[in-house]
Amino acid sequence: MQHIYYEVGSLDKKCYEKFALTEDILMEHAASSIARFIEENFEKKSSVLIVCGPGNNGADGLALGRLLYKEYEVKLYLPFGAKSQMAKLQKNRVELLGLTLHEEISESDIVVDALFGSGLNKDLDETSLNIINTLNQLNTYKIACDIPSGINIKGQVNQEAFYADTTITMGALKVALFNDEAKDYVGKIEVANLGIQRSIYEEKTNIFLLEKEDMNLPLRNKKNSHKGSFGHLNVIAGCKKGAGIIAAKAAFGFGAGLVSVVCHEDIDLPYHIMQTHFLSDNCTAIAIGMGLGKYETEEIKTILAKEIPTIIDADLFYEEIILEKLKSDVVLTPHPKEFCALLKLCEIADISVIQLQKDRFEYVSKFCNKYPKVTLLLKGANVLIGKDKEIYVNSFGTSTLSKGGSGDVLSGLIASLLAQSYNSLDAAITANLAHTLAAKNYKKNNYSLIPSDLVEEVKKL
């Protein structure tokens, strides 16, 4: 996994003070990283339009233009001039080199957005909005320098932002790149080396980007085993029984030795899924909430009171009866609307889904600070998994998963791992990675996924 930061100014400062690296040196390496990307991916003599802002992001763009000059057709456009000290210095250098500035935006093979980067802290003016909108309309490959212009330090897009095919961010990954609002704008994310390796540049952080290698699948290495060796999951089925059945099928396909659906009415189940009217005596994990609807309150209290690894989803996020369970090691998997209801129930915040989506990291942190034993998985374009002081980001999410039943599959996957003795955090991380990577591997039209397709793809990981 990789580190993610709210800001990297303090990391730059360390370079100046501890390693005698100047702002100029860091900027040269930043520009070199973007130049290298262009050289590796585009033919020489391709045209490159670099739109430079008045500050240091624009200075990065000017330095890039100097590095590409003569090998590529470089077009530098400075709509606001050069105002920062570094921007003035870099502008002087390109002018001494003989590189002329352009007065307007023109079609090019490549467009580099070096307008504002992570320094944006106010609304865009009309001129900036017009520039960004014009750039977005160009049919060309688009690269953002640091962060697409229009995205602020929290990852919010309050007006409009540059749509990048690739974002080359400076020094380290930033939270702003992983807010849900930013997902459609950032494209593929690369990190620019600023003159020292990332392991030296970076410091300790509590936010991490998950990678495929962080997925620890439940592979069976023990030969002397039986079905009971791999746990017995109980899935509580409610009014919408299909949700519980989907979760049960996913759990069985992800390694649970036994899976029972708890339902007072007889229901049709696959032959390998059992039914029970009450919790099994040898139950090793519980999944509850999916399609639960109206259920006997006292019975739910009894189930939640069990000291058995539990995942809670869906309808229970609106019910006060879960509050006592939040004092224990439990997994919660709300979508944004459910999480807003939970925040209100817990007296943390009374906010709309829109407000939540603008500050996902903040509210996950607030919840986990109040309930440090809980593992919280907040669904979204980028899934946030919080536990105590730490947040893990899964950026593999895809619109393929935007279908009814996908969340029930996820609940079943997590529950399966809990039944197999994974701890709550590891279960949430591995199951969520499996869930999203399976969706990415789905080869048919991205609108056509059904829960059984997802379960089959998980089996192939």
| Residue 149, marked binder | yes
Domain 213-459: CATH superfamily is: Ribokinase (3.40.1190.20)
Please write the tens of the pLDDT for every residue from 401-414.
Answer: 999 999 999 999 99
- Was 117 annotated as part of a binding site? yes
In tens, the pLDDT along 9-52 reads: 999 999 999 999 999 999 999 999 999 999 999 999 999 999 99
Query: Does the annotation list 350 as a binding residue?
Result: no
Convert the pLDDT of each residue in 268-291 to its tens digit. 999 999 999 999 999 999 999 998
Q: How far apart are CA 150 and CA 115, in angstroms?
A: 9
pLDDT reported for residue 128:
93
Residue 291 counted as an annotated binding residue = yes
Sign (positive/negative) of CA torsion 291, 295, 297, 301?
negative
Q: By three-state DSSP, how is residue 384 classified?
A: strand
pLDDT band at 419; cut points 50, 70, 90? very high
- The response to whether 120 counts as a known ligand-binding position is yes
**Residue/partner pairs of 89-94 with CB below 8 Å, 24 or more apart:** 89/24, 89/59, 90/27, 90/59, 90/62, 90/63, 90/66, 91/62, 93/62, 93/63, 93/66, 94/62, 94/65, 94/66, 94/69
Confidence of residue 174 (pLDDT cuts 50, 70, 90): very high
Domain 2-205: assigned CATH number = 3.40.50.10260
* pLDDT for the residue numbered 119: 60
- State yes or no: 407 annotated in a binding site: yes
> Is the pLDDT confidence value at 294 over 90?
no
Are the CB atoms for 333 and 243 separated by under 8 Å? no
Are the C-beta atoms of residues 58 and 115 closer than 8 Å to each other? yes
Mean pLDDT score, 335-347: 97
> Was 380 annotated as part of a binding site?
no
Average pLDDT of the residues in 338-365: 97
pLDDT at residue 177 tops 80 = yes
Equal fold, 2-205 vs 213-459: no
Rounded percentage of the chain residues whose pLDDT exceeds 70: 100
User: What's the alpha-carbon Rg for the chain, to the nearest Å?
Assistant: 25
pLDDT at 94: 94
Is 423 annotated in a binding site? The answer is no
Both tokens of residue 15? 């370079």
pLDDT exceeds 70 at position 169:
yes
Q: Is 243 annotated as a binding residue?
A: yes
For the stretch 108-135, pLDDT in tens is 999 999 999 776 777 889 999 999 999 9
pLDDT of 299 strictly over 70 = yes
**Pairwise CA distance, residues 53 & 62, whole Å:** 9
* Portion of the chain with pLDDT greater than 90, in percent: 88
What residues contact residue 298 under an 8 Å CB cut-off, 6+ apart? none
Inform me whether the pLDDT recorded for 427 exceeds 90.
yes
Asked whether residue 187 is marked as a ligand-binding residue, the answer is no
Question: In the predicted model, what is the mean pLDDT of residues 374-400?
Answer: 97
Q: Name the pLDDT band for 293 (thresholds 50, 70, 90).
A: confident
Q: Which residues of 393-426 are buried (b: 16+ CB within 10 A; e: fewer)?
A: bbbbbeebbebebbbbbbbbbbbbbbbbebebbe
What is the pLDDT at residue 372?
Answer: 97
| Domain regions of the chain by residue span | 2-205, 213-459
- Helix, coil or strand: residue 18: helix
Cα–Cα distance, 290 to 269 (Å, whole number)? 16
In the numeric block, which tokens belong to residue 458?
């998980």
**Residue 335 among known ligand-binding residues:** yes
The band of 295, judged by pLDDT with boundaries at 50, 70 and 90, is confident
Q: How do residues 57-98 score in pLDDT, each as one tens digit?
A: 999 999 999 999 999 999 999 999 999 999 999 999 999 999
pLDDT digits (tens, 9 = 90+) for 213-226: 999 999 988 888 88
Q: Does the annotation flag 58 for ligand binding?
A: yes
In this prediction, residues 451-460 reach a mean pLDDT of 95
What is the helix (H) or strand (E) element at residue 215, kind and residue range? none
Q: Is the pLDDT of residue 309 over 70?
A: yes
